[in-house]
A and B are shown apart, each in its own frame.
Chain A
Amino acid sequence: MTSAALVLPPAAPPARPRVLLVGTALASAATFMAFAWMIGLYVSERSAVVSAGGTWLPDGSNIPLTPGNMAFATMLISGVSIWWAVESVGRNDRQMAYLALALSILLGAAVINATSFLYSQIDLPVASTPGALIYTITGAHIAMLGFAMVYAAVMVFRTLGGEYSGRDREGLVAAALFWYVTIAVHAVIWYAIYIVK
């Protein structure tokens, strides 16, 4: 058996598959499923209360539009800056890549800041159904965003450190994919929680 294998000419080395990209796509899908369920639970609980004639948010609580809108707009802009980072690495433009990455991380931090400011404005106790769900969902999203920021930073530094060349920027493309899923999740949160409340 072994000798039979050895007499054949060896196969050409396989085109190195995009392992990191495939793994990130699967991880992103898994993360999206978790958020889909949590937001589904939020919508379901809210619908049950409203259809029973109750009010969803407790008296004295309110979700102001401005911080939520600002956070979402910032998140959308960060989608452009992370794309800029990917393009810069593709052109081996180290300076622009660092600038774009720094901007992306700054925008990510701004989203976290806007969300924490929102927490200070809504006066919503965690010991209430909407409070428990809103803090859980938005808190989980902040954790996801934090991971996306670290992932993007690591991948840019590894790319610029020579692990990937300008044409082979799989690591950063993978990080960008996760970033875009983070934006997509934020879009759903923005509509379901900040707009519809």
Chain B
Amino acid sequence: MAVTETPPETVAAAGSATPAATRPAPTGLAAVLGSGDHKVIGRLYIVTSLLFGLATVVLGGLFAFESVDAATLEVFSSGSVLQSFSLFRLATVFLVAIPLVIGVAMAVVPLQVGAPAVAFPRAAAASYWAWLVGSLLFIASYLMDGGPGGTSGSGVNLWIASFGMVLVAILLASLCLATTVFALRTSGLSLARTPLFSWSVAVAAVLWLFTLPVLVATLVVSYVDHRHAGGVLGGNAALAPRVGWALRNPQVYVVAIPLLGFFADVLATTAKARLALPGAARAAIGGAGVVSFGAVLATNDASAVETPLVIAMGLAAVLPALLIAGLIGDLFRRGSFRLTTGAVYAVSSLLLVLVATGAGALGSIPALETAGTIYDIGVAHATLVAAVIAALGGVHWWATKIGRQGANESLGKLVPLVLLIGGLLVSAPHLVSGIAGEGIETSPDWTGGIEGLNYVVVAGSVVLLLGLLLAAASFLPLFKASDQSPRDPWEGQTLEWLSPSPPPIGNFDADLPTVTSAEPLVDLREEN
């Protein structure tokens, strides 16, 4: 059976007048292992990536501690330090930030576009399990001394293959998400009316579909080179430089694109007003996609970062976030203001992404000579933490749709602020060290940075760890069953708030009305 086949329960939910909620839902382990339900898959992605996130933050803190005195090794051995650092950098992107964003998107996007299921549900489920197995093998390859620079030939082969598996899984999830937005919207919900979060997820998914295959191809070539060709194309030593473009700006900005949609959706709801220029917001998010096309740096030529195209992309990357912020500012001028936890998350993540893209714009100026230094790591860390804040904000905002009831509000308001401080502390020292330039260790590896400033990074890692633990604590109510979970706790504007909380298989317990604007629930309130 092809993985593209729509499962029977989805067809029934889409085509039958009988609500799919009446179908008995699978229980126990079968509900997890065998489920093609996008909410279950999303939850799996979220929980697993958060666990990886806790471990990754600890690893990052250890590296910062090690960098305080780079001349001596306190924690790692000389044989493992470079490999472990590559694990830390790759895990932040491919084991934490991207899957966390995908998890929230997987749970929410089908609801937002009024679809009964995600497109290709079996492929979506396969993406999670392939990502999980690939991630575990990826970590195992490091234990075999097989990361970039490792001495175990089999371990390096496993590293390449497992990393490829992780990427293919992410591509599969991206395919499901993009197809859901492009082809499974309900009646009247044109692309121009698609909620901004779903639109931003579609833009990010398409970007991943256009750029990550380049990384997969890189790994295929590297595998043949390492396994069969004796390293004529650089072999083991070339692995880390070849994948480096995926860990720096502009490519790393892709993971933050859904943040823009989350920010706009949440704050429009918070302000209880319609966005004045939704087309401009959509264009800004699309523009963020254009300037995040990092595959232009997938070349052996190190001077590619100084080409006019890449410089222009770096300078322009800050504009979409500024435009969205401006549009939301106008909302609050016309609407009202409520201090919702979602708004705190959204504002915190946007502030950090403004720092990231602003720093990236500054760093793209060739005269500052920051390219290839630890400055890139600072930009990447700020971007990734911003994306994580937004994703956790998504879990909080859509808690009644993702979990069984809402998250802890008072604790929730604290989390984004803690994470914002942690994000600034782990990224700012690297930015300062990169700008400081000559005479200081500025290489983009674990030895980089002004040694004293690395104490700040250690502190930042501790704060980030605290923030993640607080977030996990605030999400504990999501696991408890409740009959009192409201459909629409925030007076939302988009279709997901019409579904019961938690949503059943098939997502909606009644036929949806024809959508006539980008804010269908506002229309319903006005008509009634």
B430-483 residues at the A interface, CB under 8 angstroms: none
Complex contact B213–A31 (CB within 8 A): yes
Contact A126 B213 (CB under 8 A): no
CB neighbours of A12 from chain B (8 A): 187, 514
Which residue from A17, A19, A22, A154 sits with its C-beta under 8 Å from B2?
Answer: A154
Chain B minimum-CB-distance residue to A22:
B183
A38 touching B233, Cβ below 8 Å: no
Question: Hey, which chain A residues are within 8 Å of B488, CB to CB?
Answer: 1
In the complex, are the beta carbons of B220 and A30 less than 8 A apart? no
Q: How far is the CA of A11 from the CA of B299 in the complex (A)?
A: 50
Q: Which residues of B contact A27 (CB under 8 A)?
A: 175, 209
Residues of chain B within 8 A of A131, CB atoms compared: 229, 232
Residue in contact with B232 in the complex, picked from A7, A11, A129, A154, CB distance below 8 Å: A129
Identity of the chain A residue whose Cβ is nearest the Cβ of B298 in the assembled complex: A37
* Highest count of chain A CB atoms <10 Å: which of B4, B6, B212, B515: B4
Instruction: Flag whether B15 is at the interface (Cβ < 8 A).
Output: yes
User: Do residues A30 and B171 form an inter-chain contact, with CB atoms below 8 A?
Assistant: yes
A37 touches B214 (CB 8 A): yes
B1-18 interface mask toward A, CB cutoff 8 Å, 1 = contact, 0 = none? 010101000000011000
Please state if B510 and A6 are interface contacts (CB–CB under 8 Å).
Answer: yes
Cβ contacts under 8 Å, A5 to chain B: 498, 510, 512-513, 524
Render A1-22 as a binary contact track against B, CB cut-off 8 A, 1 for contact.
1101111111111101111101
A35 to B213, CA, bound (A): 9
Interface residues of B in 1-41 (CB under 8 A from A): 2, 4, 6, 14-15
A36-61 CB contacts (< 8 Å) to partner B: 36-38, 41, 44-45
* Interface hits, B260-288 → A, CB 8 Å: none
Contact, CB under 8 Å: A23 / B511: no
Q: Distance (Å) between the CB of B401 and the closest chain A CB? A: 14
Chain B residues near A2: list those with CB within 8 A: 487, 498, 510
Is A160 engaged at the interface, CB distance under 8 Å to the other chain?
no
The answer to whether the Cβ of B397 comes within 8 Å of any Cβ in the partner chain is: no
Identify the closest chain B residue to A31 (Cβ): B213
Chain A residues, CB < 8 A from B15: 13
Task: Report whether B218 and A37 are in contact in the complex, using a CB–CB cutoff of 8 Å.
Answer: yes
Pairwise interchain contact B513-A10, C-beta atoms closer than 8 A:
yes
Q: Which stretch, A71-79, A90-98, A112-120, A132-140, touches the partner chain B? A: A132-140
Given contacts A9-B513, A11-B186, A33-B295, contact A38 B221 (CB under 8 A): yes
Does A132 lie within 8 Å of B524, measured CB to CB?
Answer: no
Q: List CB contacts (< 8 Å) of B197-230 with chain A.
A: 206, 209-214, 216-218, 220-221, 224-225, 228-230
Are B209 and A34 closer than 8 Å at their CB atoms? no
Residues of A with C-beta under 8 A to B298: 37
Of the candidates A4, A5, A10, the one having the most CB atoms from chain B within 10 angstroms of its own CB is A5
Cα A19 to Cα B2 in complex, Å, equals 14
Which residues of B (216-251) have their CB < 8 Å from a CB of A? 216-218, 220-221, 224-225, 228-230, 232-233
Q: For the complex, what is the distance from the CA of A128 to the CA of B225, rounded to whole Å? A: 9
Is B300 at the interface (CB under 8 A from chain A)? yes
- A127 CB–B CB distance under 8 Å: yes
Tell me the complex Cα distance, A38–B4, Å: 27
Given A5-B498, A11-B188, A133-B221: A33 in contact with B214 (beta carbons within 8 A): yes
Alpha-carbon distance A18/B511, docked complex (angstroms): 21
Chain B residues with CB below 8 A from A44, complex form: 299-300
CA distance A139 to B525 in the complex (A): 59
A45 nearest CB across to chain B (Å): 8
| Known pairs A11-B513, A19-B179, A26-B209; A140 contacts B188 (CB<8 A) | no
Contacts of A36 in B (CB 8 A): 214
> Residues of A contacting B57 with CB < 8 Å?
none
What's the nearest-Cβ distance from chain B to residue A146, in Å?
15
Q: Does A29 count as interface, using CB distance less than 8 angstroms?
A: yes
Chain A residues contacting B120 (CB-CB under 8 Å) are: 19, 23
* Contacting pair A17 B184 (CB below 8 A): yes
Known: A129-B232, A132-B224. A11 touches B217 (CB 8 A): no
Contacts of A13 in B (CB 8 A): 15, 187
Asked whether A11 and B527 contact (CB < 8 A) given A26-B206, A30-B209, A127-B230, the answer is: no
Decide: A132 near B511, CB < 8 A? Known: A7-B528, A13-B187, A30-B210: no
CB distance from B295 to the nearest CB of A (A): 7
Chain B residue numbers with a CB within 8 Å of A4 are 524-525, 527-528
Expressed in whole angstroms, the Cα–Cα distance for A131 and B228 within the complex equals 10
A11 to B523, CA, bound (A): 15
Which A residues lie within 8 Å of B232 (CB)? 127-129, 131-132
- Say whether B119 faces chain A, with CB atoms less than 8 Å apart: yes
Q: Does B521 contact A (CB under 8 A)?
A: yes
Cβ contact within 8 Å between B175 and A140: no
Within 8 A of A (CB), among B483-521: 487-488, 497-498, 510-515, 521
| Minimum distance in angstroms from B459 CB to a CB of chain A | 40
Q: Would A1 and B497 be within 8 Å (CB), given that A11-B511, A33-B213, A37-B217 are in contact?
A: yes
Name the contact of B183 in the complex, choosing from A18, A31, A45 (C-beta under 8 A): A18
Q: A127 to B295: give the CA distance in the assembly, Å.
A: 27
Q: Contact between B221 and A41 (Cβ–Cβ < 8 Å)?
A: yes
Query: When each residue 291-305 of chain B gets 1 if its CB lies under 8 Å from chain A and 0 otherwise, what string results?
Result: 000010011100000
A19 contacts across to B, CB distance below 8 A: 6, 119-120, 179, 183-184
Would you call B178 an interface residue if the criterion is a C-beta within 8 Å of the partner chain's C-beta atoms? yes
Closest residue of chain A to B299 (Cβ to Cβ) is A44
Cα–Cα, bound, A97→B387 (Å) = 49
Chain B residues with Cβ below 8 Å from A22 are 119, 179, 182-183
The 27 listed contacts between A and B (C-beta, < 8 Å) are A1-B497, A1-B525, A4-B524, A5-B510, A5-B524, A8-B513, A8-B527, A13-B187, A17-B183, A17-B185, A19-B6, A19-B184, A26-B209, A34-B216, A44-B300, A45-B233, A126-B229, A127-B230, A128-B229, A128-B232, A129-B233, A131-B232, A132-B221, A132-B228, A133-B221, A135-B224, A136-B224
Q: A30-B213, A34-B214, A158-B2 are in contact. List 9 more A-B contacts (CB 8 A).
A: A1-B487, A1-B497, A1-B525, A6-B510, A11-B514, A19-B120, A26-B179, A129-B232, A132-B224
B residues with a Cβ closer than 8 A to A are 2, 4, 6, 14-15, 119-120, 171, 175-176, 178-179, 182-188, 206, 209-214, 216-218, 220-221, 224-225, 228-230, 232-233, 295, 298-300, 487-488, 497-498, 510-515, 521, 524-525, 527-528
Q: Which 9 A-B pairs have the closest CB atoms?
A: A10-B511, A11-B514, A34-B213, A132-B229, A17-B183, A11-B187, A34-B217, A8-B513, A22-B183
